[in-house]
Amino acid sequence: MIQNNLRLLSLIRALLVLGVSCLWLVPASAHENTVIRFYGEPAAPFYWEEDGVEQGAVFELAQALIKHLNLHATVELLPWARAYYEAEQHPNVVLLSVLKTPARENELQWLGVVHVAKASFIRLRERGDIHVSQFDDAKKYRVGTVRGYGSAGYLQRHGFEENQNLILAKSPSELWALLYKQRIDLVLSNLVSGKYEVDSAELDASRIVSEAEVTPLNLELQMATGLQTSAELTEKLRAGLASLKASGEYLQIMKKWDLL
């Protein structure tokens, strides 16, 4: 009986030692060994690659968030449709800039605003003869945008007619070329991203200015994650982004890329 009790005590001690040892293998946080994948679509000045170097406002914001929260993470460029699919199908995928629409409201978990893109009628600086103080004033001019863009549908719904006062281009580069050749008078776009498109088309971006804002087309871009990401991690990311804003680091990044 005594021998049996001694064997039982030895077994209990061994199990206790093994249990204590295993505790060292359990991470302090469930997220310490989780890889967070940040995805952004190629779009200057938010995130793009030039000469093999990744850069842009939301790219730097992701890097700042990773450092602030001490995350194990990657940041990658990915076509929009593929990035959105990954966020829908897998946990721990973060989209760096997503247009928040009613249709997407319940499809993602929203982490916070990263930028509000302001739409406006844009003209050449030297075209001082163009005056738009309210939306309908633009109907007197030839306004251009890209076919298929939401701005094209908006103009058509509000009285613009194609090949009269509405000219639809095949691409952004063609659109800006039309403006610089003065085949159109105004472009409906975002001035910040427009300047990068103009540079890409090898035109002088200092020549374009905003004539009048079109506030119904202003776009709120948010950082978001899919529904499969845990509530705990989602809140951690949300709080981290808010902290970057409170500290002023977010503001510095946005100012650097002329997004404020």
pLDDT tens for residues 15-72?
A: 434 443 443 333 434 445 789 999 999 989 999 999 999 999 999 999 999 999 999 9
User: Which range among 18-32, 111-125, 151-165, 183-197 shows the weakest confidence by mean pLDDT?
Assistant: 18-32
Secondary structure (3-state) at 260? coil
pLDDT on residue 22:
40
CA neighbor of 189 nearest in space, from 115, 118, 244: 118
Determine the average pLDDT of the residues in 102-129. Answer: 95
**Residue at 78 is within a domain:** yes
Which of 215, 218, 241 minimizes the C-alpha distance to 109? 241
Same domain, 154 and 85: no
Residue 103's pLDDT is: 85
- Other C-beta atoms closer than 10 Å to the C-beta of 83 total 22
Cα gap 234→143, rounded to integer Å:
42
Tell me the CATH number at 141.
3.40.190.10
Rounded to an integer, the average pLDDT of 219-242 is 97
Residue 32's pLDDT is 56
Same domain, 94 and 108: yes
Same domain? For 224 and 240 the reply is yes
The model's pLDDT over 81-108, given as tens digits with 9 standing for 90+, comes to: 999 999 999 999 999 999 888 889 999 9
Range of the domain at 198: 119-217
Average pLDDT over residues 240-257: 97
- What is the predicted pLDDT for the residue at 101? 84
